[in-house]
């Protein structure tokens, strides 16, 4: 049910002819109210796509009527012509729905540096507006796929109110920095400021902890919209907890469908002086190609973990660190401990535990291995 699980929302996914591969490629999600409260977070890449530049203005007042998303082109580094395409898209949505263009978020994904076919986008918007339905979440979640092999959706239902979401993203996947598009909807009654605080809290420990390939997108965009249609005003903490659960669920779906990956790697850093240190250490390992290639080869090469930690500014003594892989402590206090041959890396799920032995802070980073299929997909596919 995705973004239409919560009441007050309609969605559609249509084929606008934007993707060379064909198939659904334009999605529309509409908030029918009574509230139209929203919050959004965007990529922190300084090279921002035209739809990001547009949507940053739209979100400023906390009111969003609809989100339109296309695959088949990122509309990034496409100059004023590209910006006008984004603007025209929002205007078309506004005209079809009788809302203000200034309340329409736009998201795009695909190849950077190519113009979108504006006529096809606008015709697609009209088709999507005509196809809107309270069961349209599934089609919408398919229309935003690029190299994704499957749609990603999640729903948290508390009884009184519901949160639903959809996500796309398989490469250029190092949010945190905020390649994914995510739309989350809820029928809870919440103010824009409450939504913003909840969304930032949830994304900080979910999408922002995913670092599949170290490459930050120009188009990342996570939107949360509230319709208030349930009539129920939840405790903000309770809502944030449910939202974090939903975001983590979607983030794990992104990890497990990452381009070419054969292992999902959970890097748990404990004993850090600060959470920032734990994140920096986890991310340094997540971005180490040698470690990632070793995991692909089922090789528990823990020296590569320590060499990655050594590049950080985190508080630690290299000769105090413990490292465990899938439950086997291979390094204790910077020296060889259990034989690396005891580590079984054949399951897809890999757990790497790093104890810095400095403090009580911790963080978990999620990444993937570096595989032949990753190289193949990203050398053969212009995305």
Answer yes or no: is 292 a known binding residue. no
149 binds its own copies (CB under 8 A): no
Distance in Å, CB of 66 to its own copies, minimum: 27
Look at strands 66-70 and 104-108 and give their pairing: parallel
Answer yes or no: is 368 a known binding residue. no
* Structure-derived torsion over alpha carbons of residues 77, 83, 88, 89, reported in degrees to the nearest 10: 50
Pair 251, 206: CB distance under 8 Å: yes
296 binds its own copies (CB under 8 A): yes
161 binds its own copies (CB under 8 A): no
**Of 51, 151, 169, 171, which one interacts with its own copies (CB under 8 A)?**
171
Could you list the active site residues?
Answer: 179
**Range in contact with its own copies (rule: CB under 8 A) among 29-37, 85-93, 275-283, 303-311:** 303-311
141 φ/ψ angles, rounded to the nearest 5 degrees = -70, -25
315 binds its own copies (CB under 8 A): no
How many whole angstroms separate alpha carbon 357 and alpha carbon 329? 14
According to DSSP, residue 133 is labeled: B
- For the chain, the residue count is 383
Of 41 and 224, CB closest to its own copies? 41
Look at strands 349-355 and 264-272 and give their pairing: parallel
Q: Which of residues 115-134 bind its own copies (CB under 8 A)?
A: 115
215 binds its own copies (CB under 8 A): yes
Q: Say what angle helices 79-97 and 118-131 make with each other, to 10 degrees.
A: 20
Answer yes or no: is 7 a known binding residue. no
How many whole angstroms separate alpha carbon 208 and alpha carbon 136? 28
**Range in contact with its own copies (rule: CB under 8 A) among 17-25, 144-152, 223-231, 286-294:** 286-294
334 binds its own copies (CB under 8 A): yes
24 binds its own copies (CB under 8 A): no
Edge-to-edge strands, sheet with 361-368: 335-336, 328-332, 322-325, 349-355, 264-272, 361-368
Answer yes or no: is 146 a known binding residue. yes
177 binds its own copies (CB under 8 A): yes
**Range in contact with its own copies (rule: CB under 8 A) among 120-128, 153-161, 267-275, 326-334:** 326-334
Which of 14, 15, 42 shows the shortest CA–CA distance to 29? 14
**Of 46, 98, 159, 360, which one interacts with its own copies (CB under 8 A)?**
46
How many whole angstroms separate alpha carbon 252 and alpha carbon 267? 13
Of 47 and 193, CB closest to its own copies? 47
340 binds its own copies (CB under 8 A): yes
Contacts of residue 186, Cβ cutoff 8 Å, sequence gap at least 6: 6, 161, 162, 163, 164, 224, 225, 226, 227, 239, 243
78 binds its own copies (CB under 8 A): yes
**Of 66, 247, 330, 353, which one interacts with its own copies (CB under 8 A)?**
330
Q: How many residues bind its own copies (CB under 8 A)?
A: 65
Answer yes or no: is 168 a known binding residue. yes
How many whole angstroms separate alpha carbon 187 and alpha carbon 35? 9
Of 158 and 262, CB closest to its own copies? 262
289 binds its own copies (CB under 8 A): yes
- For residue 178, CA distances in Å to 205, 226, 249 come to 11, 21, 16
301 binds its own copies (CB under 8 A): yes
Interaction site with its own copies (CB under 8 A): 45-48, 74, 76-79, 81, 111-115, 171-172, 177, 213-218, 287-290, 293-294, 296-297, 299, 301-304, 306-312, 316, 318-319, 330-331, 333-336, 340, 370-372, 374-376, 378-380, 382-383
């Amino acid at each position: 049910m995705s973004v239409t699980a919560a009441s007050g929302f309609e969605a559609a996914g249509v084929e606008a002819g934007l993707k060379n591969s064909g198939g659904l490629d334009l999605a529309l999600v509409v908030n029918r109210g009574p509230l139209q409260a929203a919050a959004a977070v965007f990529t922190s890449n300084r090279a921002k796509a035209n739809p990001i530049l547009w949507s940053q203005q739209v979100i400023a007042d906390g009111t969003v009527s609809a989100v339109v998303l296309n695959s088949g082109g990122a509309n990034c580094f496409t100059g004023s012509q590209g910006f006008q395409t984004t603007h025209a898209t929002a205007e078309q949505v506004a005209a079809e729905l009788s809302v203000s263009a200034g309340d329409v978020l736009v998201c795009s994904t695909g190849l950077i540096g190519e113009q979108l076919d504006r006529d096809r986008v606008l015709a697609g918007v009209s088709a999507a507006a005509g196809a809107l339905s309270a069961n349209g979440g599934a089609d919408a979640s398919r229309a935003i796929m690029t190299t994704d092999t499957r749609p990603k959706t999640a729903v948290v239902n508390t009884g009184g109110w519901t949160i639903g979401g959809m996500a796309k993203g398989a490469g250029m996947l190092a949010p945190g920095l905020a390649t994914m598009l995510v739309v989350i909807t809820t029928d809870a009654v919440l103010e824009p400021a409450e939504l913003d605080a909840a969304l930032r809290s949830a994304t900080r420990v979910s999408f922002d902890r995913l670092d599949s390939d170290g490459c930050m997108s120009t188009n990342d965009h996570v939107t949360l919209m509230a319709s208030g249609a349930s009539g129920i005003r939840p405790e903000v903490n309770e809502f944030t907890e449910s939202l974090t659960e939903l975001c983590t669920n979607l983030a794990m779906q992104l990890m497990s469908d990452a381009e070419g990956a054969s292992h999902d790697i959970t890097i748990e850093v404990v004993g850090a002086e600060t959470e920032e240190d734990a994140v920096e250490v986890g991310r340094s390992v997540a971005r180490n190609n040698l470690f990632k290639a070793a995991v692909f080869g089922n090789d528990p090469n823990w020296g590569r973990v320590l060499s990655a930690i050594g590049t950080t500014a985190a508080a630690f003594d290299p000769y105090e660190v413990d490292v465990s892989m899938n439950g086997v402590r291979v390094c204790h206090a910077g020296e060889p401990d259990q034989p690396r041959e005891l580590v079984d890396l054949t399951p897809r799920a890999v757990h790497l535990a790093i104890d810095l032995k400095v403090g009580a802070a911790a963080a978990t980073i999620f990444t993937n291995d570096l595989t032949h299929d990753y190289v193949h997909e990203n050398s053969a596919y212009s995305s």
